[in-house]
Amino acid sequence: MNTDKLPDDVEDILIDEKNDNSTKTLVAKLRNYFLAGVVVTAPIAITVYIVWTFLEFLDRKITPFIPYSYNPNSYLPFDIPGLGLIITVVFFIIVGWFTRNFLGRLMVRWSEYIVTRVPVINKIYVAIKHVLQTIMSSKSDAFKEVVMFEYPKKDIWVLGFVTGTSKGEVQEKTSNETMNIFVPTTPNPTSGFLLFIPKKNLIYMDMTVEEGIKLIVSGGIITPPERV
């Protein structure tokens, strides 16, 4: 890793400063330095803020359930940041271990039996469980490939993510092998459209899923590098 090289976006801001240093006014130079400083510090500051806010949220919601005598924040002169996150991780590990034995599996089956008998709630539970199992499965192909195809009409192209091969009635009603494609919206990729598209109409991209998401969220500003 070359530590002497600045990020590309910072170099783009300062490039004019190097090429036309003599004609730049002091105000223009300061403006370029200011923009470069924002580009460097803003992503770090926002990331730290989001992480810190998340940790504080967990601390507020989780730590009150700890008995006073076992809560380290009750006898330390300062609060331990991230204690809620640690407790959450330990909780999930314990639950995962518990469900591996006979008694745990039995309780899970009885809980699912009760929940799946409750109207409305059973639909929500089954949908959420299926989505989580698909995402967490190591054999799942969801969101592992980026594709491009014509949509909503010819000669207009859009990026999407393969979430799997179409199955069941969707595949039976079509004459070609069909893929499930999620097309996120800009700049919010959490919303979008589910399309069923013949595999032959898809162009598989070399870019990674992360690069595809950056391209969509940025509105086309952040373009992935070309791969030879």
- Vertex 101, ends 97 and 106: CA angle to 5°? 115
**How many domains does one find in the chain?**
2
Nearest to 84, CA basis, from 112, 114, 63 = 63
The answer to whether residue 43 sits within a structural domain is yes
Residue at token pair 């899923």: 209
The answer to whether residue 104 sits within a structural domain is no
The answer to whether residue 113 sits within a structural domain is no
Helices (H) and strands (E) in the chain, counts: 7, 5
Strands 178-184, 157-165: pairing kind: antiparallel
Do 162 and 77 lie in one domain? The reply is no
The answer to whether residue 123 sits within a structural domain is no
Q: Which tens digits make up the pLDDT trace of 67-104?
A: 878 788 777 777 777 888 888 888 888 888 888 887 87
The answer to whether residue 115 sits within a structural domain is no
Residue 63 is encoded by which pair of tokens?
């730590």
Residue after which a domain boundary falls, among 98, 120, 155: 98
C-alpha dist (Å) from residue 158 to 96, 112, 146, 165, 219: 40, 40, 11, 19, 12
Do 150 and 93 lie in one domain? The reply is no
Alpha helices in 63-180 (DSSP H): 83-98, 102-115, 121-136, 169-172
Do 1 and 91 lie in one domain? The reply is yes
Residue after which a domain boundary falls, among 98, 118, 133: 98
Question: Which of the two residues, 182 and 80, has the higher pLDDT score?
Answer: 182
Please check whether residue 72 is in contact with residue 83, taking contact to mean a CB–CB distance below 8 angstroms: yes
Q: What is the mean pLDDT of the chain?
A: 81
Residue 3 has pLDDT above 50, yes or no: no
Question: Which of the two residues, 28 and 158, has the higher pLDDT score?
Answer: 158
The answer to whether residue 2 sits within a structural domain is yes
Range of lowest pLDDT (14-18, 47-51, 131-135, 144-148): 14-18
Please check whether residue 193 is in contact with residue 183, taking contact to mean a CB–CB distance below 8 angstroms: yes
Please check whether residue 195 is in contact with residue 151, taking contact to mean a CB–CB distance below 8 angstroms: yes
Range of the domain at 177: 146-217
